[in-house]
Amino acid sequence: MNTMGDFWVVNAGAAVPVVAYQLVSLILFFAGIYGFLTRRNIMMMLISVELILNAADINFAVFNRYLYPGQMDGMFFALFTIAIAACETAVAIAIIINVYRNFGNADVDNLKKMKG
Amino acid sequence: MEYTLLILLFPLTSFIVLGLFSNRLSHKAAGIIGTGALLAMTLLSFYAAWDYFTTPKAEGFYQTLIPFNTPWLHMGSHLHIDMGILLDPISVMMLVVISTVSLMVHIYSLGYMKGEKGFQRYYGFLSLFTFSMMGLVLSTNIFQMYIFWELVGVSSYLLIGFYYTRPEAVAASKKAFIVTRFADMFFLIGILVLSYYTQTFDFGTLMSGNETIFQHALSTRFLGASALVWAMALIFIGGAGKSALFPLHIWLPDAMEGPTPVSALIHAATMVVAGVYLVARLFPIYVAFTPEVLEGIAWVGAFTSMFAAVIAIVQTDIKRVLAFSTISQIGFMMVALGVSKLEGHEGLGYMASLFHLFTHAMFKALLFLGAGSIIHAVHSNEMERMGGLRTYMPVTHLTFLVACLSIAGIPPFSGFFSKDEILAAIYGYHTGLGIWMTVAAGFTAFYIFRLYFSIFWGKQTQYAHTPHESPRSMTFPLIFLAIPTLLGGFIPFGHFVTANRSVYTIHPDWPIMFISVLVSLTAIFIARKMYQYAGTKTGEASSGLKGFQKAAYHRFYVDEVYLFITKKILFNGIARAFAWFDHHVVDGSINGLASVTDWVSIKIRGFQSGEIQWYAYIFLFGTLLITALFLFM
């Protein structure tokens, strides 16, 4: 029996070790954290958040692949996260546009003025 | 006799209508409603009196009738407060007195208060007062009496402070309320002690002559006296406050800040005799179980009557003279009650006291209304500003003279008869006390004729505009009240009101009559000599008496003593300590709580900077910390 799942398990398992995936994920994650904490531009911070989300997605896919090769839960979760991230980005961009219109730039410090 | 309930409902309805619609009623309509309700009530009261006294007596004694009684408040299994109507000789007598005087005051006020701001309010309060006073005398139990007692106090307060824009009137109303309320506190304690030991509020049960209900109260002893003695003495203090007996008399002279008809009704004829009525109502208990309290009442009354008479001699405000005269006359009534016993001739004092209450209400109301008429014409209360008024105001002059002769005890005016009965009763009890009271009676004649001669005779005073006789609505009550003042003495009072409720025929005591008339005539003669033509004014006295006169003019500094006790000792000493505790401990703990919260919130405020990236740092390090904790613990 040569199903689609089996094909992935057999071929992927031999090619790349898990640590390699983990390394990529780790780099992406901390690149995202670093960007989020240091960038002043909200757009850049949003991109950083996307990086963090992608790091999480990679982890979902990899661990699903290695721990439960017969199941697809992790894959679906990754897809689900991508969908949520798309929505979140749409909302965030709407906010950013408004911030830009009001303040003339997209600097995150502007948002301090919104506190009560 | 259920219709007696209407006696209460007429003034109550009038009060409610006038109170609710005072702004929408014209002065005329308010006057008609108030006076009309009073007229209906008065006719009903007279009919009730006739009805009661013609009801056949049981074995020669007047019965107590309770035409209406309903439990109102249950307290525990035995004790309950009722609301009802009790008719017996004294309450029926009071019905007649109150309704007559109140009606006359209502009619008089139509003229006196004409055009005053708050005319409707005035009539509303008068109706409230009349209702409360009627409720007080008709009470079937001591607690109902207490409720109406307080209502009377509050309506008195409202009427004294009627001119609420004048600071003196406001201060006087507060003083009256606080002093009487202070006395009522003792009254309430007395009621509670009495009802605790006897398990009843009901006058019928208390007066039934059943000694067993008092056994518990008599056997319990506290500070050298039985609980019953304490209860009755405390109840008397309540009565002393309302009746302005020394040393609780200080509110009555100030109460004269109210409109003059109010002084006539409340502070001369009806409310201030509530204390006398209270003692008369509980008289069987006083005389049978606590004769020592009764003796104390006699001495307090005797002192008060002399004390107030002396002060009245030197006052210059005519209403103040009359106020001290009232205090003095109430003293007479109290002495008479104090020296009385229950049966036959020994019960003379009781009869005399209530007889004097009756005649005093008439002639003192007449005096006050006359004074109101004079004030209305002269626009001043001061005797210095008056003189020679007899030609300008003939009706006021004649009726005032009748009242003066009556209070001075000149036959055949009503005051002569009642005062003589009182003196006879006192001489029968203690000769020294009798002489003391005869002297007080002489002072009475002197001060009242000093007043009379200074106002109507004396020097011709220049008036800003010529005084004129008052309108008919004011002279009619004067003439009407002059009738009982002239003829009231011939009422066979002993046939109606006696201590044991049987019939007592008054026997004149010729020597005492002769002496008291002689004393009064002498006093009048001296007053005439001093004030009729020479116009001796109050500032002058023989040098030896200067100091005494000054002290009397300042009312023997009793008010100052009160001020010293309240201001210096209570306010400065005790109240200040409590104020410190309140400010520093009670307020301090609350303020401390608030400032700690404030301080903490200032400290935490830094976290809420609004900088997202700073939040993210903290979040990150928090997460790392928790992760580290999980990993290494």
Contacts of B613 in chain A (CB under 8 A): 36-38, 45, 108
Judging contacts by C-beta atoms under 8 Å, the chain A residues touching residue B617 are 37
- Chain length of chain A: 116
Collect all residues of chain A within an 8 Å Cβ-Cβ radius of residue B620. 33, 37
Confidence class for position B77, pLDDT limits 50, 70, 90: confident
The listed range with the strongest mean pLDDT (B62-66, B78-82, B321-325) is: B321-325
The tens digit of pLDDT for each residue in B430-447 reads 888 888 888 888 888 888
Looking at beta carbons, which residues of chain B come within 8 Å of A111? 610, 612
Tell me which fold the domain A17-113 belongs to. Helix Hairpins (1.10.287)
Mean of the per-residue pLDDT values of chain B: 85
- Listed by start position, the domains of chain A span 17-113
Average pLDDT score over residue span B607-627 = 86
The separation between CA B319 and the C-alpha centre of its own chain, rounded to angstroms, equals 16
| pLDDT tens sequence across B129-186 | 999 999 999 999 888 999 999 999 999 999 988 888 888 889 889 988 988 999 999 9
Give the up-direction half-sphere exposure of residue B91: CA atoms within 13 A in the CB hemisphere.
27
- Closest Cα in chain B, distance from residue A45 (Å): 9
Those residues with Cβ within 8 angstroms of residue B83's Cβ, 6 or more apart along the chain or in another chain? B69, B70, B72, B140, B144
The verdict on a CB contact (< 8 Å) between A114 and B610 is yes
B539 pLDDT more than 50: no
Is B617 in Cβ contact with A111 (below 8 Å)?
A: no
The answer to whether residue A81 scores a pLDDT higher than 90 is: yes
Q: Which residue of A has its CA nearest to B608?
A: A115
Q: Tell me how far apart the alpha carbons of residues B202 and B196 are, in angstroms, rounded to a whole number.
A: 13
Nearest to B299 by CA among B361, B342, B348, B240: B240
Contact at 8 Å (CB) between B366 and B485? yes
The winner for highest mean pLDDT among A3-17, B81-95, B448-462, B487-501 is B81-95
Please name the residues in contact with B204: beta carbons below 8 A apart, sequence gap of 6 or more. B64, B66, B86, B140
Query: How close, in Å, is residue A112 to chain B by CA atoms?
Result: 5
Q: What is the pLDDT of residues B301-351, one digit of tens each?
A: 999 999 888 888 888 888 888 899 999 999 999 999 888 887 777 788 888
d(CA B57, CA A3): 124
Q: Is the minimum CB–CB distance between B608 and chain A shorter than 8 Å?
A: yes
Question: Which of B611, B616, B620 has its CB closest to that of A112?
Answer: B611
Chain B residues with CB under 8 Å of A36 CB are 613, 616
Residues contacting B563, CB < 8 A, separation 6+:
none
What DSSP element (H or E) covers B82? strand B79-87
Write the ipTM: 0.75
Q: B568-580 burial by CB neighbour count: b if 16+ within 10 A, else e?
A: eeeeeeeeeeeee
How many angstroms away from the CA of B592 is the closest CA of chain A? 27
* The predicted structure's pLDDT at residue B599: 92
Q: Does B609 contact A114 at a Cβ distance shorter than 8 Å?
A: no
For residue B26, what pLDDT band results from cuts at 50, 70 and 90? confident
According to the model, what pLDDT value does residue B388 have?
75
DSSP character at residue B140: S
- pLDDT at A91 exceeding the cut of 90: yes
Q: In terms of Cα–Cα distance, which of A73, A72, A77, A53 is closest to A8?
A: A72
